[in-house]
Amino acid sequence: MGTFAADVRALVQKRADALRYVAMQSIQDVVEAAQQPQLGITKGAASFVVGKIPVAEGELRASLRAQLLGGAAATGAESYGAVIAGYEIGGNFIFEWTAPHALPMEHGFTARNGSQVPGRHFVGANAARFSEFVNARVAEANAMMGDIQ
Amino acid sequence: MNERDIAVALQQRLAMQEIAPLAFENHNAAPARPFIFVQHVPTVATARDVAGGSLERQGYMAATIVVPEGEFATGAMGIAIAIELLFPVGLRLTIDGGVVTIPRPVQQRTGFQDGQDYRLPVQVYYEARA
């Protein structure tokens, strides 16, 4: 009986570890994808890519502010890594880009000549892929730790 | 089933109701305010079998409402409500080779000042299956 209880505890812990891994990695995947840079139009880019963050001087990318609720916030292009590392199941994050031009870059704006510039949707397009990232990480966790479904 | 047909189906439905003039990406119109700037944002394309069949596509139609500065934001919100009513959860649109479904309520995002305009982003999420 003692052995059975220990086995159940070990199984539960294994599943909890796997769930934490999937959650952490999936969240990181979203933010990492949102921070994928593309040369900005003002820097001579030849194409316009939705889902990537435009980079001219790097101010927008560096304005990422990441915080696990209840913990300290971190700011910077790579700030999300250390913040996500502190995640426990049930935790909540805030990720925000605080540069003044963050919203126009995300959703689009009116250019000086009056034409409409489409949004980059570096946040929206990648947030919408969360399920895709979760599925990939579940498959990875299954391979590493056994079936967690 | 392709993204072009999905975009056309959503945009035609939006145009049909004449909620406000529409401006489209790569179509340099400068309509009088208020207008809706429409952009198609595909996010995921998957195949449910290794032969590439049973395609599923997901994404959203970004419909940003543009009004002049100095007006109450509630005017733009009224247009957003009209868009939400036009794309209720469960709406199905038949396209060549598949069906486009609206899986969740239209999402209204944070409005912001843009020069002499105020922009209110609205996102109409879709899922399409062959």
User: Which is more confidently placed, B92 or A149?
Assistant: B92
pLDDT for the residue B82:
97
Closest alpha carbon within chain B to A116: B28
- Is the pLDDT at A63 greater than 80? The verdict is yes
Q: What is the mean pLDDT of residues B42-60?
A: 84
* CB of A103 closer than 8 Å to CB of B110: yes
Looking at beta carbons, which residues of chain A come within 8 Å of B112?
A: 103-104, 107
- Is the pLDDT at A137 greater than 90? The verdict is yes
> What does the buried/exposed string (b/e) look like for B54-77 if buried means 16 or more CB atoms within 10 Å of the residue's CB?
ebebbbbbbbbbbbeeeeeeebbb
- Residue B52 banded pLDDT, cuts 50, 70, 90: low
User: Which is more confidently placed, A145 or B104?
Assistant: B104
* CB of A20 closer than 8 Å to CB of A88: yes
- Is the pLDDT at B95 greater than 90? The verdict is yes
Dihedral (C-alpha) B109, B98, B40, A48: value to the nearest 10 degrees?
130
- Is the pLDDT at A6 greater than 70? The verdict is yes
- Is the pLDDT at B51 greater than 70? The verdict is no
Looking at beta carbons, which residues of chain B come within 8 Å of A126?
A: 43
Instruction: Please give the Cα distance from B56 to B44 (Å, whole number).
Output: 8
Instruction: Please give the Cα distance from B122 to A133 (Å, whole number).
Output: 24
- Residue B1 banded pLDDT, cuts 50, 70, 90: confident
- The DSSP code for B33 is S
Q: Tell me the pLDDT of chain A averaged across its residues.
A: 90
pLDDT for the residue A133:
95
- Residue B34 banded pLDDT, cuts 50, 70, 90: very high
Q: CB-based contact (8 Å) between B35 and chain A? A: no
- Residue A100 banded pLDDT, cuts 50, 70, 90: very high
Instruction: Please give the Cα distance from A75 to A90 (Å, whole number).
Output: 23
User: Which residues, at least 6 apart from B40, have a Cβ–Cβ distance to it below 8 Å?
Assistant: B3, B6, B7, B10, B11, B25, B59, B61, B62
User: Which is more confidently placed, A119 or A43?
Assistant: A119
- Residue B28 banded pLDDT, cuts 50, 70, 90: low
How far does CA A10 lie from the centroid of its chain? 30
* CB of B62 closer than 8 Å to CB of B123: yes
For residue range B55-81, what is the model confidence (pLDDT) as tens digits? 899 999 999 999 999 888 899 999 999
A15, containing H or E segment = helix A2-34
Strands, E assignment, chain B: 22-24, 35-47, 55-68, 92-95, 98-101, 107-108, 112-114, 117-129
Closest alpha carbon within chain B to A115: B28
User: Which is more confidently placed, A113 or A145?
Assistant: A113
- Is the pLDDT at B109 greater than 90? The verdict is yes
- Residue A1 banded pLDDT, cuts 50, 70, 90: low
Cis peptide before B31 (omega within 30 of 0): no
Q: What is the mean pLDDT of residues A120-132?
A: 95
Tokens of B83: 């868009």
- Residue A147 banded pLDDT, cuts 50, 70, 90: low
Q: CB-based contact (8 Å) between B113 and chain A? A: no
Instruction: Please give the Cα distance from B38 to B78 (Å, whole number).
Output: 17
Q: Tell me the pLDDT of chain B averaged across its residues.
A: 92
* CB of A123 closer than 8 Å to CB of A149: no
Q: Please answer yes or no on whether A109 and B115 come within 8 Å at the CB atom.
A: yes
* CB of A144 closer than 8 Å to CB of A76: no
